[in-house]
Chain A
Amino acid sequence: MRRIRAAAVGAVTLSLALAATACGGGSSTGGGSNDSPKTLTYWASNQGASVAVDKKVLQPELDKFEQQTGIKVKLEVVPWSDLLNRILTATTSGQGPDVLNIGNTWSASLQATGGLLPWDERNFAKIGGKDRFAATALGSTGAPGKDPAAVPLYSMAYALYYNKRIFADAGIAKPPATWDELVADAKKIKARGTSPLGAEGANLSENIHHVFVFAKQHGADFFTADGKPDFTDPKVVAAVKRYVDLMAKDKAIPAGDAEYAQNQSVSDFAKGRQAMLLWQSVAANLKSQGMSEDAYGIAPVPVISGKPGGGTQVNSAVMGINIAVFKNTHNLDGATKFVKFMTSDTEQKILNTAYSSIPPVTSAQSDPAFAAPATAVLKNTLATSAAALPQVPSESQFETAVGTAVKELFADAAAGRAVTTDDVRAKLEKAQQQMPAA
Chain B
Amino acid sequence: MPSPPTAPPRNSPMAPPRSFLWSRRVFLTLLAGFVLVPVYVMVSSSLKPLADVTGRFRWLPSELTVRPYIDIWSTVPLARYFVNSVVVAGAATVCSVVIAVFAAYAVSRHEFRGKRVFTVTVLSTQMLPGILFLLPLFLIYVNIGNATGVALFGSRGGLILTYLTFSLPFSIWMLIGYFDSVPRDLDEAALVDGCGPLGALFRIVVPAAIPGIVAVAVYAFMTAWGEVLFASVMTNDTTRTLAVGLQGYSTLYDVYWNQIMAASLVVSVPVVAGFLLMQRYLVAGLTAGAVK
- Interface set of A (CB-CB < 8 Å, partner B): 18, 21-22, 24-27, 46-52, 76-82, 85-86, 89, 92-95, 262-264, 266-267, 271, 285, 288-289
Contacts and interface: CB of A to CB of B under 8 A. Distances in A.
B193 interface: no
Contact of A93 (B51, B138, B236, B253): B138
B253 to A, nearest CB: 5
A214 to B, nearest CB: 24
A76 B237 contact: yes
B133 to A, nearest CB: 11
Contacts of B153: 93, 95
B190 interface: no
Contact of B248 (A25, A47, A50, A95): A50
A22 B255 contact: no
B145 A266 contact: no
A77 B237 contact: yes
Contacts of A266: 253-254
Given A18-B140, A93-B138, A52 B75 contact: yes
A21 B147 contact: yes
Interface SS of B by simple majority: helix
Contacts of A25: 139
Band of interface residues on B: 20 to 34
Contacts of A81: 232, 247
Interface string B4-38: 00000000000000000000000000000000000
A34 to B, nearest CB: 18
Contacts of A78: 237
What are the 7 closest A-B residue pairs judged by CB atoms, nearest first? A93-B142, A21-B143, A22-B139, A76-B237, A50-B251, A285-B253, A49-B253
A209 to B, nearest CB: 15
B140 A51 contact: no
B124 interface: no
A46 B233 CA distance: 17
Given A94-B142, A95-B153, A288 B248 contact: no
Interface of B: 51, 54, 74-77, 135-136, 138-140, 142-147, 153-154, 232-233, 236-237, 244, 247-248, 250-255
B255 A262 contact: yes
Given A81-B247, A263-B254, A86 B147 contact: no
A80 B139 contact: no
A79 B236 contact: no
25 contacts: A21-B140, A21-B143, A21-B147, A22-B140, A22-B143, A27-B146, A49-B253, A49-B254, A50-B75, A50-B252, A50-B253, A51-B76, A51-B251, A81-B247, A82-B232, A82-B233, A85-B232, A89-B135, A92-B135, A92-B138, A93-B142, A263-B252, A263-B255, A267-B54, A285-B253
Contacts of B135: 89, 92
A235 to B, nearest CB: 33
Given A52-B74, A79-B248, A93 B255 contact: no
B78 to A, nearest CB: 11
Residue of A47, A48, A82, A95 most packed against chain B (CB within 10 A): A95
B162 to A, nearest CB: 14
Contacts of A95: 142, 145, 153-154
Nearest to A25: B139
A51 B248 contact: yes
Given A93-B138, A264-B255, A289-B254, 6 more contacts: A47-B252, A50-B75, A79-B247, A89-B135, A267-B255, A285-B253
